[in-house]
Amino acid sequence: MKINMNEIDIKNQICDICRKMWQLGWVAANDGNISVKLGDGLFLTTPTGMSKSFITPDKIVKINAKGEVVESADGLKPSSEIKMHLRCYEERGDIGAVLHAHPPAAAGYAVANRALDEYTMVEAIIAIGSVPVAPYATPSTSEVPDAVAPYLHEHDALLLRNHGALTMGADLITAYYRMETLELWAKISLNAHLLGGADEMSRENIDKLCGMREFYGITGRHPGYKKYPEGSS
Ligand code: 13P
């Protein structure tokens, strides 16, 4: 649901999501970052090098589309991964928020270089589709945006090889929900594999679920066409 928010509301929402990410154990030390697009070519971002449990609205940094600081308290600098965030906005006009975290199950898939591309669970199929692993890139460098760019046109959720996860959405709540769905699905997949393997669904059932996205008001990019086994349920 699209809610009109002013800048103070957005800063409060960023801080709320930062605390949730920390409480959920998705970030340690200064891990993770969030950005939100404002209406006038400007962006808000979490500052670099700060625990997500400590961030308060006054610490949020305002930048322009080049990543230059427009407003910042106490000399705080934007997230070191801001180039990755800005590339998401450049490539995807429909995106209003970007979230990066290291949720342990999803990051485990990233470390194992294993895509989450089995169609096994209804909510994950409806909400995010398949989730690829973007190639390894050195954090904070332009290698990171270059590594993720080829995936951005078809995916709202990505794994970053040997690093973590990236989600995006029209607004911050949507980007955050996608990270929740990704992490829960990664945990469920791990459990299924411990139990002997995940049971992939039939093309017919996958297509039905993809058709329900409109009914649920789900926007964005999330393919429903990757591999599926012959004769599965
Ligand atoms: P920042 O503190 O610069 O946002 O970096 C955290 C991080 O997770 C790097 O990938």
- C-alpha distances (whole Å) from 175 to each of 127, 154, 182, 226 are 11, 15, 11, 22
In percent, how much of the chain has pLDDT > 90? 85
Q: Could you give phi then psi for residue 194, rounded to 5 degrees?
A: -65, -30
Ligand 1 nearest-atom number relative to CA 49: 2
The alpha carbon of 189 and the centre of ligand 1 are apart by a number of angstroms equal to: 27
Q: What whole-number distance in Å separates Cα of residue 178 and Cα of residue 197?
A: 24
Residues with CB under 6 A from ligand 1: 30-33, 46, 48-49, 79-81, 100, 139
| 215-230 pLDDT per residue, tens | 999 888 877 765 434 5
The alpha carbon of 171 and the centre of ligand 1 are apart by a number of angstroms equal to: 21
Confidence class of residue 16 from pLDDT cuts 50, 70 and 90? very high
Strands of the 97-101 sheet, one edge to the other: 69-71, 61-64, 42-45, 33-37, 97-101, 164-169, 157-160, 133-134
| Residue 3 pLDDT exceeds 70 | no
Confidence class of residue 233 from pLDDT cuts 50, 70 and 90? very low
Q: What whole-number distance in Å separates Cα of residue 116 and Cα of residue 193?
A: 12
The alpha carbon of 81 and the centre of ligand 1 are apart by a number of angstroms equal to: 6
Predicted TM-score (pTM) of the model is 0.94
Pick from 6-20, 60-74, 114-128, 212-226: least confident? 212-226
User: Do 129 and 222 meet the contact criterion of CB atoms below 8 Å apart?
Assistant: yes
Q: Is 70 helix (H, G, I), strand (E, B) or coil?
A: strand
| 100-133 pLDDT per residue, tens | 999 999 999 999 999 999 999 999 999 999 999 9
Q: What angle do CA 10, 131, 188 make, to 5 degrees?
A: 95
